[in-house]
């Protein structure tokens, strides 16, 4: 198997696993969304510590610890990814997977817009067109469907800024060390959350049967495995291809929410989604044209959906 083929398979595998996350989280019921994210933080940290031990990655982690600027950036990344995780799990367990998929459909376009607003990057005409169509889609959903898509916008905003932070960190922090530090900073949040959960109805983990306990115990593995596949894949393929592959996740989440979970899709909501998909087509056409001309295909590049 060639290196590029392996890279495509790794990357596709990562995005497929991320696309299946809603089904995995639903299997964890009756655990609540706040308790679930708290355990996801703690179990991800445990799994990463084991992984660092097996792969002898502790020296790389300690090298990051000695750099206060990098440590601060990993703490900021931790806060952002916690917001993303919590909103996503709240949406999944309350039957709003379709709206979550909307956030990840918009995310690549949001990333480009943040590059303009924060990094003062120049973008191409078709990218502006895609941004405009995506903005129109949000307006249509608000006005015609009568609801503010706070889940989608919270997901795309938190993940978009997370991508900027990861871009700032760059290759100085490898995937495992990064997730280890990000979850480490969230230990106090997880502990406080579990304390309040225990006071309000009790901890579900370990008290809802052996199968539920085992499934929840794999939350750390479910977080880290796609991340590692993503890291392995992006080292072997260019970002143009990864930029196209990344839409596997929101497509799968949309189909899971609409077809498997039976979430409503009235005409007004379809109108908003169709506009978003048109924006994505414009975005992908721009990527293809830029790649053909030998220009950077994506101003910021896709990041992992941890």
Residues 35-84: pLDDT tens digits?
999 999 999 999 999 999 999 999 999 999 999 999 999 999 999 999 99
pLDDT of residue 13: 94
User: Average pLDDT for residues 192-197, to the nearest whole number?
Assistant: 96
Question: Whole-number mean pLDDT of the chain?
Answer: 89
Q: Where are the domains of the chain?
A: 3-293
pLDDT of residue 295: 60
- How many whole angstroms from its chain centre is CA 129? 24
More confident residue, 183 or 243: 183
pLDDT of residue 249: 93
Contacts of 105 (CB under 8 A, 6+ apart): 247, 250, 254, 273, 276, 277, 280
Task: Judge whether residue 4 has pLDDT over 60.
Answer: yes
How far apart (Å, rounded) are the C-alpha atoms in residues 107 and 115?
12
How far apart (Å, rounded) are the C-alpha atoms in residues 286 and 84?
28
pLDDT of residue 236: 83
Structure tokens at 92: 């999944």
pLDDT band at 132 (very low <50, low <70, confident <90, very high): very high
Residue among 246, 223, 83 nearest 155 (CA) = 83
How far apart (Å, rounded) are the C-alpha atoms in residues 193 and 39?
10
3-class secondary structure, 63: helix
User: Average pLDDT for residues 165-191, to the nearest whole number?
Assistant: 91
Q: What is the CA radius of gyration of the chain?
A: 19
Contacts of 198 (CB under 8 A, 6+ apart): none
pLDDT of residue 127: 86
Query: Residue 229, class by beta-carbon neighbours within 10 Å (0-12 exposed, 13-18 middle, 19+ buried)?
Result: buried
How far apart (Å, rounded) are the C-alpha atoms in residues 84 and 298?
22
pLDDT band at 237 (very low <50, low <70, confident <90, very high): confident
pLDDT of residue 105: 92
pLDDT band at 304 (very low <50, low <70, confident <90, very high): low
pLDDT of residue 297: 53
Share of the chain above pLDDT 70, in %: 95
Task: Judge whether residue 119 has pLDDT over 80.
Answer: no
pLDDT band at 195 (very low <50, low <70, confident <90, very high): very high
User: Average pLDDT for residues 118-132, to the nearest whole number?
Assistant: 86
201: left (phi over 0), alpha (psi -120 to 50) or beta: left
pLDDT of residue 239: 67
pLDDT of residue 5: 87
Residue among 231, 183, 221 nearest 50 (CA) = 221
pLDDT of residue 227: 86
- What are the pLDDT digits (tens) for 263-302? 999 998 899 999 999 999 998 888 888 877 766 555 455 6
Structure tokens at 26: 């639903």
Task: Judge whether residue 303 has pLDDT over 70.
Answer: no
């Amino acid at each position: 198997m060639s290196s590029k083929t392996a890279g495509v398979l790794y990357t596709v595998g990562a995005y497929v696993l991320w696309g299946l996350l809603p089904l995995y989280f639903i299997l964890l019921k009756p655990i609540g969304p706040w308790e679930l994210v708290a355990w996801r933080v703690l179990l991800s940290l445990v799994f990463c510590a084991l992984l660092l031990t097996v792969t002898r990655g502790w020296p790389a982690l300690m090298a990051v610890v000695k750099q206060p600027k990098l440590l601060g950036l990993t703490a900021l990344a931790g806060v952002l990814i916690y917001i993303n995780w919590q909103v996503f799990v709240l949406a999944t367990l309350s039957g709003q997977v379709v709206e979550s998929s909307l956030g990840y459909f918009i995310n690549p376009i949001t990333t480009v817009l943040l590059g303009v607003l924060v990094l003062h990057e120049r973008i191409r005409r078709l990218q502006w067109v895609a941004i405009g169509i995506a903005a129109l889609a949000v307006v249509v959903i608000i006005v015609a469907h009568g609801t503010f898509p706070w889940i989608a916008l919270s997901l795309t905003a938190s993940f978009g800024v997370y991508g900027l932070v990861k871009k700032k960190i760059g290759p100085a922090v490898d995937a495992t060390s990064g997730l280890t530090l990000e979850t480490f900073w969230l230990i106090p949040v997880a502990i406080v959350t579990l304390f309040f959960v225990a006071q309000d109805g009790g901890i579900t983990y370990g008290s809802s049967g052996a199968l539920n306990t085992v499934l929840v115990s794999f939350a750390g593995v479910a977080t880290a495995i796609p991340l590692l596949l993503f890291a392995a894949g992006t080292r072997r393929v260019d970002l143009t291809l990864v930029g196209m592959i990344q839409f596997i996740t929101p497509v799968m989440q949309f189909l899971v929410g609409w077809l498997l979970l039976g979430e409503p899709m009235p005409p007004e909501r379809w109108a908003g989604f169709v506009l978003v998909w048109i924006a994505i087509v414009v975005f992908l056409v721009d990527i293809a044209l830029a790649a053909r001309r030998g220009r950077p295909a994506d101003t910021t590049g896709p990041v992992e959906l941890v």
